Chains A and B, each alone.
Chain A
Amino acid sequence: MKYIDEYRNPDLVRLLLEQIDNAVSRPWTIMEICGGQTHAIVRHGLDQLLPSSIRLVHGPGCPVCVTPLEMIDRAHTIAAMPGVIFTTFGDMLRVPGSHQDFFSVRSRGADVRFVFSPLEALQIARDNPRHEVVFLAVGFETTAPGNAMAIKQAATEGLGNFSALSSQVLVPPAMRAILSSPDNLVQGFLAAGHVCTITGLCDYFPVAETYGVPIVPAGFEPVDLLNAVLKVVEMLEAGETGVVNAYERVVSRDGNAGALRVMDDVFEIADRTWRGIGVIARSGLRIREKYAAFDAERKFDVGHIEPKESSLCMSGDVLRGILQPEACPAFGKQCTPLSPLGAPMVSGEGACAAYYRYQRAWGA
C-alpha cells in the first residue's frame, strides 16, 4: 500500500466529491481542527472543489499559533541567556514575540537550534554538559508523549542540564470553548487524526452529545479529508450527532495506552491561555511537581514579562473560525510571512500562512 498514491487517487477524489454533492441539500459550516489538515485542504484545493454550500472553516489546531505571547516572550528571554542552548521545532523560529523572533535572538549571539525531535535536544544536553539545554515543548496531544518521554529520560539519566518549556494544549476543551461561544457558526467537526491516534475517541463522545454535533476524526490526504467531509455531511443531513471514525487505519477507539501512560506520568492538566482566545479551563498540560527540576518555567527566572500584542492582528477570530484569513484587513499587507503580525501567518500549520502560501490573489 503506497499511502500517498492511494489516498490521493484522482478517481477516488472525484467519486467522493460526487457523493458529497449528491448528499448535500443545504448550507453547512464544518470546522477542521488540525492545522495540518488546513494546509492539506488548501494545498490540494479541496475547498475549491467542494460544493459552495459547504463552508470549511479553520480551527485552532495550530499549537504554535495558540501559544500565548507571554510564553513566546519567555522562550526568547531564556534563549538569550548566556550558557543556554535553546532547541525548538523549526516552525517556531519565525514566530513573532512582543519584540523579536528567534532569528533575531540568534543573530545577537544566542545559541538557538532547530531539532526534528525532543530526543535530539536530549542528545545536545548529553553532548554539552556545561550548558543549559532548553527544549520548547509545543503541541497538542500528538507531541505530548514524545516530549514526556524526553523529560522522563532526562530524569532517569539525571541529565540536570536539560529542561522543557511546556506549551502543550488539549483539543477537546478548545472544541467546547468554540461550541459554547455565542457567535459560534460551526455545525460539525473534522477531528484531528493524529491527536486521536494518541488519545482515542473517548473524550469526544461527551462533546458530541452535549453540543449536538457530528465529530469525525479525519486523516490528512485528500481521500481521507473528503471521506470525512462526506460522513459529516451525511450525519448533518440526517440530523445525527456522535463520533464516527473516518481514519480507522490509524485511530482506534482507545488510543495509544503507552503514550497516555507516559503523558500522565509527566504532565498534569492545567488551565491554559490560548493566544487570541483567552483562558480555557483545564485545556493544557503542565509538568508535574516530581519533574520540577526539568521544567524550564520553574527553572529560569525571566523577570516580569509584559506581552505586547499587535492591535491589527485578528488571529483570535481566525482561530475560532469566525474570520477567514483573507478577510483580515492586514492580510497580505501589513501581515505577510516575512513580517508576520501573529503566529498563524508564520507557523507551518497556521491558517493565514496556508492561505498566503497557496491562494494569494493572483490578479485578473
Chain B
Amino acid sequence: MQFECPLPQADHDRVQIAHGAGGRLSRELMATVFMPALNNPVLAELDDQARLILPPGRVAFTTDTYVITPLFFPGGNIGELAVHGTVNDLAVGGAVPRFLSAGFVLEEGFPLADLQLIVSSLGQAAAKAGVSVVTGDTKVVQKGQCDGVFINTSGIGEIREGIDVSCRHLQPGDRLILSGTLADHGIAVLCAREGLSMQMSVESDSASLNAMISAVLEVFPGIHAMRDPTRGGAAATLNELASASGVGIVLEEEAIPVHPEVRGACELLGIDPLTVANEGKVIIAVPSNGADAVLDALRRDVHGKNAAVIGEAVGDHPGVVVMRTAYGSRRVVEMPLGEQLPRIC
C-alpha cells in the first residue's frame, strides 16, 4: 500500500500556492512575515473583519491597487508605495488617515526574502504615517499569472471639521502651489526599468504627505482644492481641476521646479515632465490671501522644501490650462492622452 504524504513539501524560501490556501502555510506566513511588520491590536485579533470605532462626522474612504514594476526602485519599493499612495489620497481630501487594509496577490515562486522586505517597508511606512493596517488578505496565483506581487490598499480617514476641499472649488485668482520637484518618481522608475543610468541618480519621491498637509490646513483651512499628481502627472491634475471648476489655469514655465537630472532625462527621452507620475507631491489651489502662509508651511516640511507658486486660476479659457514660457509666448498644456509609462504605480 502506498501512502502519499499529505503535508506539502516545504520550500522554505519561496512563496507556494499553499501560502494562499488559508491553511497551515497561510498561518505560518501571517506569523512570520505579516504580523511582525504590521502588528497592532486590531490585526492581532485575526478575525474575518476589523471592528473599529470612528468618531462621528465625515469619513473619507479610498482604494488603490499597486502593480508597479520593478518592485524595488531607486527611492522605494511597492510596499511603502502602497501606503504612501493611499494615505495621500485621504490627506488631499482633508482627512486624517487612520486605518488601512492590505490585500496581496503573490506569484508562486516569489522569493520570501523579498516579500519580507516589502511587507516590512509597508509596516514602517504605515507606522511613520501614523496609520494601522487593520485587516488584510493574501492570495497566491500560479507562476506567470501575476508579476511577483500586486498590492491593494484601501484607507479610511476622518475628515477634519470645517475643511471642504474639492476639485470643483477653484476660483479665478486662486494661486496654484506645487509642493516640490516634478517627475522624480516616473523618471526613477523608467530609468530602473530600462536600465538607463544617469550621471546623478534620480530617486522616487514616494512619501506620505499627511503630516505636511496637516500643517498646511492648520495655518490656512480655507484651501479650495488639493490633489496629488500621480498617473498623468501635473498636466492631468491641472486639467482635471480646470475642467471640474470651470476655470482656466495659467502656469509660469520658469516657476515649475524640476531637478536638473530629471529635466535632462526627460529631454533625452522626449518626455514632458508635466505628464510624469509623482508619488510624494501635492498641488494646492488656495485663495491669493493664503498663498504665503501655505508656501511657508510647506517649505518647513522636508517634503515641501522646494514648494513654489506655479500659476493661478483665471476666468478666461475655462477648462483649459495654458503655459506661459520664459519668453512670454503661450502654449496649451493638454490632458495627456494615455499611459506614457505603464505600471508606474
Contacts and interface: CB of A to CB of B under 8 A. Distances in A.
Interface of A: 2, 4, 8, 10, 13-14, 42-46, 48-49, 116, 222, 337-338, 348, 356-360, 362-364
Contacts of B300: none
B194 A44 contact: no
B267 A4 contact: yes
Given A359-B331, A360-B334, A363-B316, 20 more contacts: A4-B263, A10-B326, A13-B327, A42-B331, A43-B331, A44-B331, A45-B329, A45-B330, A48-B329, A48-B330, A116-B194, A357-B332, A357-B334, A358-B331, A360-B332, A362-B317, A362-B320, A362-B322, A362-B332, A364-B316
A178 B114 CA distance: 61
A45 B323 CA distance: 10
A252 B337 CA distance: 39
Nearest to B329: A45
Contacts of B320: 360, 362-363
Contacts of B328: 49
A338 B337 contact: yes
A176 B322 CA distance: 38
A356 B316 CA distance: 19
Nearest to B320: A362
B194 A14 contact: no
12 contacts: A4-B263, A13-B326, A13-B327, A42-B331, A46-B327, A337-B337, A360-B334, A362-B322, A363-B316, A363-B317, A363-B318, A364-B317
B193 to A, nearest CB: 11
B327 A49 contact: yes
A65 B267 CA distance: 22
Given A4-B263, A357-B332, A362-B332, A44 B316 contact: no
Nearest to B253: A44
A341 B115 CA distance: 48
Contact of A222 (B269, B327, B332): B327
A253 B47 CA distance: 77
Interface string B201-233: 000000000000000000000000000000000
A359 B332 contact: yes
Interface in B269-293: 269-270
A43 B327 CA distance: 11
A8 B263 CA distance: 13
B260 to A, nearest CB: 8
A44 B329 contact: yes
B22 interface: no
Contacts of B270: 348
Contacts of B269: 116
Contacts of A222: 327
B264 interface: yes
Contacts of A42: 331
Interface in B251-267: 260, 263-264, 267
A40 to B, nearest CB: 11
Which of under 10, 10 to 19, 20 to 34, or 35 or more describes the interface residues of B? Answer: 20 to 34
A110 B72 CA distance: 29
B325 interface: yes
Contacts of A358: 331-332
Given A362-B317, A362-B322, A46 B329 contact: yes
B248 interface: yes
Contacts of B263: 4
B194 A45 contact: no
Contacts of B334: 356-357, 360
Nearest to A50: B329
Nearest to A358: B331
A57 to B, nearest CB: 18
Contacts of A364: 316-317
Contacts of A10: 326-327
A250 B337 CA distance: 34
Q: Which 9 A-B pairs have the closest CB atoms?
A: A45-B329, A358-B331, A362-B317, A362-B320, A48-B329, A10-B326, A363-B317, A360-B332, A13-B327
A60 B316 CA distance: 35
A44 B253 CA distance: 10
A358 B325 CA distance: 12
Most chain-A Cβ atoms within 10 A of its Cβ — which of B322, B329, B330?
B329
Given A358-B332, A359-B332, A362-B332, A45 B325 contact: yes
A3 to B, nearest CB: 9
A328 B260 CA distance: 39
A263 B127 CA distance: 60
Contacts of A2: 260
A362 B327 contact: no
A363 B321 CA distance: 12
B89 to A, nearest CB: 27
B334 to A, nearest CB: 6
Nearest to A44: B325
Contacts of A43: 331
B50 to A, nearest CB: 40
A10 B327 CA distance: 6
Contacts of B331: 42-45, 357-359
A94 to B, nearest CB: 8
Nearest to A116: B194
Contact of A14 (B264, B318, B327): B327
Contacts of B194: 116
A8 B317 contact: no
Nearest to B269: A116
A338 B318 CA distance: 22
Contacts of A116: 194, 269
A45 B327 CA distance: 8
Nearest to B326: A10
A14 B326 CA distance: 10
Interface in B113-145: none
Contacts of A44: 325, 327, 329, 331
B339 to A, nearest CB: 11
